[in-house]
Amino acid sequence: MPARFITLEGIDGSGKSSQLERLADWLRTLGLEVVTCRDPGSTAAGDAVRSILLHRQEIPLDATAEMLLYMAARAQLVAEVIRPALARGAWVVSDRFLLSNVVYQGHAGGLGPSQVWSVGQTATGGLQPDLVLWLDIDLATAAARMQRDLDRLESRGVDFRERLRAGYTAEAAADPSRVRRVDATAAADAVAGRLQAIIREAFPELPAEAAASTTPATTTAQPQE
């Protein structure tokens, strides 16, 4: 069975992180080795960059500088985690990837999506996910779920989040075979079931269930916060 690369996308509060773990656990029950990661992060360099991007709000960042920092973290993630995992036949599930920058810095941040796509191709060496699962959620529900201190991007306000959702909508329309929308306002179990159905549709080679003797792999590249 070929290795596959799946990413979860969406605005903050859409439930990506919790659904990623559910999805990875389900894939492991099918006997697959699964590597999970987050972008930016999951490497020493990526975690250092993540801290600057999201939590060091006293450090001003120009939009282009912000985008390039994301790309640097992603280049390391691809080289250190994603490509080696795919090369040995593992499935990779990532919390965000290049589409996030296209939407956040491109559509919402004013750099232009085509510019971000172009830089991203260099950062990733042309690697693209086989499937993008876009967890779409209305802004009010997403905001209600974020009962915590907001990071640099989360604190940019309603207008910014509206542009984010519009950006995801535009990118999904441009590549409907790769980017699949999922209603993330539903209950967590319902969302998880829909994600599994989409994956089975996209990858019909998946087994119905793992053999009784198989011990699912539990590899992760995502450090605990």
What angle is formed at CA 9 by the lines to CA 6 and CA 11, rounded to 5 degrees?
A: 170
pTM: 0.88
SS (H, E, C) 33-68: CEEEEECCCCCHHHHHHHHHHHHCCCCCCCHHHHHH
Say if 220 falls within a structural domain.
no
Q: Nearest-CA neighbor of 190 among 27, 31, 15?
A: 15
Q: Kindly state whether residue 212 falls inside one of the protein's structural domains.
A: no
Q: Is residue 207 part of a domain?
A: no
Q: What is the CATH number of the domain that holds 149?
A: 3.40.50.300
Residue 225 counted as domain residue: no
Do 18 and 42 touch, CB atoms closer than 8 A?
no
Q: Output the six-digit token pair for 99.
A: 């589409």
pLDDT digits (tens, 9 = 90+) for 21-76: 999 999 999 999 999 999 999 999 999 999 998 878 778 888 899 999 999 999 99
User: Please, what's the b/e burial string for 39-64 (b: 16 or more CB within 10 A of its CB; e: otherwise)?
Assistant: bbbbbebbbebbebbeeeeeeeeeee
Confidence tier at 169 by pLDDT (50, 70, 90): very high
Q: Is residue 92 scored above 80 in pLDDT?
A: yes
**For the chain, how many structural domains are there in total?**
1
Please indicate, yes or no, if residue 93 is contained in any of the structural domains.
yes
214 domain-assigned: no
pLDDT, tens digit, 9 for 90 and up, residues 206-216: 998 644 334 44
3-class DSSP assignment, residue 63? helix
Q: Measure the CA–CA gap between 150 and 57, rounded to whole angstroms.
A: 11
Chain centroid to CA 46: how far?
14
Q: Is position 31 within any domain?
A: yes
Range of the domain at 108: 5-202
**To which residue do tokens 């930016």 refer?**
40
